[in-house]
Structure 1
Amino acid sequence: MHKNVEDLPLTETTFYILIALNSPLHGYAIMQEVENLSNGNVKIAAGTMYGAIEHLLKLKWIKSVPSNDKRRKVYSITEKGIKILKLETNRLKGLVLLAKKMGYDKGV
């Protein structure tokens, strides 16, 4: 068993935040990017966003990076965060493959 398996599954919010940090962003920009990436299906409230950022910083899945804008903190995904994101992506792929195998990938 992989040592990071206990960190899985990720919440939808965490997954989207990590994906959004493909390039460095500040908190509000992350919220906008998540909404964009999810085609408007996922909207993260400010309180949820900043709580999630604090948690991800503690886990060292993201880090604060230098910014020209002194009013905003900018964040970037770390190597550890990328590793977790890849593990979760592979876990989700396995679920999709199973659903296809069982015939549940047909239209509703």
Structure 2
Amino acid sequence: MPYNGGPMTEAMYYVLLALMNPNHGYQLMNAITKVSNGRLNMGPGTLYGVLSRMQKDGLITLAEDDGRRKTYKITTDGEQALRIEYSRLVALIRDGKILEEGDEGE
């Protein structure tokens, strides 16, 4: 079943962000830690599960496979899905501004 555009998992979001520059598995784990400012450390088991799923969904593709390591890159559909998710997250933050207003309404 292809990706339906629903909310992404945190893992999916950060994999796509990290793949704005093509990467192979080990580099990708480091890139995810970097783009998440250290909040997300993804192990190989989680990473390869997410990569497999996202490849099936057409969000990423193999850029290169030299037999030793596979280099992944984001697809046009993947970048579009990432931008849609980013907009959704920005809207969530914007909607949450009510929390910053405190108890003014009481």
Give TM-score scaled by structure 2 length: 0.85
Deviations 1:63-107 (A, max 9, x none): 00126x54110000000001100110110111111112x14388x
Matched residues in 1 for 2:53 and 2:18: separation?
A: 16
Q: Which has the larger radius of gyration?
A: 2
How many percent identity over aligned positions? 35
Give the alignment of 1:1-108 within 5 angstroms. 6-66=4-64, 69-100=66-97, 102-104=98-100
Matched residues in 1 for 2:101 and 2:26: separation?
A: 35
Say whether the 8 Å CA contact 1:99–1:105 is kept in structure 2: no
The list of structure 1 runs, each at least 4 consecutive aligned residues, that deviate by more than 6 angstroms after superposition, is: none
Say whether the 8 Å CA contact 1:20–1:30 is kept in structure 2: yes
Deviations 1:4-30 (A, max 9, x none): 7x4321000000000000111001111
The root-mean-square deviation of aligned C-alpha atoms, in Å, is 1.9
The one-letter code of the counterpart of 1:86 is R
What's the offset of the Cα at 1:37? 1.5
Q: 5+ unaligned residues in a row in structure 1: which ranges?
A: none
Give TM-score scaled by structure 1 length: 0.84
Equivalent residue of 2:45, what SS? helix
Equivalent residue of 1:42, what SS? coil
Say whether the 8 Å CA contact 1:18–1:85 is kept in structure 2: yes
Q: 5+ unaligned residues in a row in structure 2: which ranges?
A: none
